[in-house]
Structure 1
Amino acid sequence: MQTILETNSVHKTKTQLEILEDKRTKCLVYTRVMGYHRPVESFNIGKKGEHKQRQHFEEK
């Protein structure tokens, strides 16, 4: 029974995103490379893969 409810809630979420599609804007992610900032979307396939594997941390 839980699977059906979870599936329905996921379906509702998709529908809400589809409804608001015209209000969404593209988000550019920048990262610092060799002392300057570049958008990740301009990376080649290998560099995009490296970026996804990075581990982020917060300094205390």
Structure 2
Amino acid sequence: MKTKTNTVLEQHQELRTKCLVYTRVMGYHRPVESFNIGKKGEHKQRLHFKES
């Protein structure tokens, strides 16, 4: 099933740039794409919050 968003993204594929997501792991930053499958799953389950 194609959604409107998927259709728009496919139409403008040549204009898109790759975005790397970094996270802080044990005191340094690492790109999420370099994680193994288990670590990627843990990253998706993290809760985001704003400290007041």
Check whether TM > 0.5.
yes
1:51 correspondence with 2:27: no
> What TM-score do the two structures reach when normalised by structure 1?
0.75
What is the Cα deviation at residue 13 of structure 1? 3.3
Could you give the per-residue CA deviations for residues 3-38 of structure 1, whole angstroms, max 9, x where no partner exists?
A: xxxxxxx64433322111100011100000000000
1:28 correspondence with 2:16: no
3-state SS in 1 of match to 2:14: helix
Structure 1 Cα separation of the partners of residues 12 and 43 of structure 2: 29
Aligned residues: 51
Structure 2 Cα separation of the partners of residues 34 and 51 of structure 1: 14
Decide which structure has the larger Cα Rg and report it. 1
Q: 1:15 to 1:38 in 2, by over 3 A?
A: same
Structure 2: tracts of 5 or more residues without a match: none
CA RMSD of superposed structures (Å):
1.4
> What TM-score do the two structures reach when normalised by structure 2?
0.85
